[in-house]
Each structure stands twice: as structure tokens, then as C-alpha cells.
Amino acid sequence: MVRFSFCLLLCLAVLPMLPPVPGAAAAGGSNAPEYTADGSLVFPANYREWIYLTTGMDMDYNPELANMDHSMFDNIFVNPEAYKAFVATGTWPDKTILVLEGRMAQNKGSINQKGHFQTTDIMARSIHIKDTAHFPGGWAFVGFGDSNTGRTFPKQAVCYSCHEQHAAVDTTFVQFYPTLLEIATKKGTLSPSYVKEEAANAKK
């Protein structure tokens, strides 16, 4: 179960049949991270109105793990302020918030006969955030169950080392965000380790 979460452990945040998040109707205002009094990250209510980056389906970084008994889409969103900075610079500014939303996939329904579409069942929610004032080292992975306040994964979690080793830009999997991959490639901000890994993959 190593689906297209930001990291392996974030699968702990997968919610079987979680009721859907209500339609996010908030508009305007700041998209800076918010924390509770005890320092827990608050899940952004209006993330569906942020910038969309990509969707994967049933992605898995480990071929030997068992299949799940259903299919899932993973949608990625980022706060507009961070997106604009990435378009300008090819990398992420402080206060970047990447949201992963996992949705149950359905095969047959309405007039659809083949393939898959997304349903109202949200199965996972997690965040990869860069906030130097709040997290030592800047970046942190935060899981959300059915709560709107998150649980930060410790630095020893494998998500940090995996992203450090394999991410295309600044510990983020920009290799799976097609419009941003093009920008980073043009601006020369791809990480040396990623470029080396891709060169090795190309020889296989």
C-alpha cells in the first residue's frame, strides 16, 4: 500500500469511506498556513480552489506490495502564491502548501462503461508543506485522518529520505506535475540527483 501519497507513511492517513469534504466555497483571503494553539496544521478548507497540478491513479512506488481492492485517484493542488513563485523561479518559496486528495475511483456509473471516474468519496488527505518558521529544515509531511488538524510525521519517517533522494525539485515530486516539470527543466532547477537518476533510467 504505497500509493501516490507524498510518502510511504502517509498511507496511514488513508480513510476508508470517509464522508466527502463539503464543497469549498470560500473565496479570497490569505492562503498562508494556519496552526492551532498547540501547533497542529489546519487543513485548508478552500484547497479545491487552489491551483491544480496533476492526478495519478493507483500509483505505487513498490511493485512487490499487495494491490488494494479498489482504485483511487490522487489529485494534487498547491496554494496560488506558491504556484506563481514556481512559475517565476522554477522552485518553491516559503509557505508552499501541496495538498494530496485521494478519491475513490468508480468504473461503471451513469453512462460510463469503461475506464474510471472520480466519486464523492474522499479516501485520503495529506499535505507537504514548506514553512521555515514552523518546521525545522523547512519541509514537513502532515497527515490528516477525519480531522481537520494534522499530525506531522517525524524526520525519521521514510517519506523524507525518499523525497530527498528521488524528487525532481526541492524534495517535491515535480516529475509527476507535467506543467511544472516543463518550467523546472527550462529554468534549470531540477535536482542533480534526479537528473542523474533519469539519465540512468534512460540507459535501461
Q: Where does this chain bind its own copies (CB under 8 A)?
A: 3-4, 20, 22-25, 27, 48-49, 51-52, 54-63, 73, 75, 77, 80, 83-84, 87-88, 103, 105, 109-120, 162, 166, 168, 173, 175-176, 178-183, 197-198, 201
Grid-cell match 511493485, residue found: 63
CB of 2 to its own copies, least distance (A): 9
- Identify the sign of the CA torsion 144, 149, 154, 159: positive
Whether the CB-CB separation of 187 and 169 falls below 8 Å is answered with no
Supply 135's cell numbers: 518546521
Closest separation in Å from C-beta 74 to its own copies: 9
Q: Which is nearer to its own copies, 16 or 23 (CB)?
A: 23
Position 46, amino acid = N
Provide the pairing of β-strand 72-78 with 14-18.
unpaired
3 state DSSP class of 167 = coil
Nearer to its own copies, 12 or 59 (CB): 59
- Cβ nearer to its own copies, comparing 37 with 202: 202
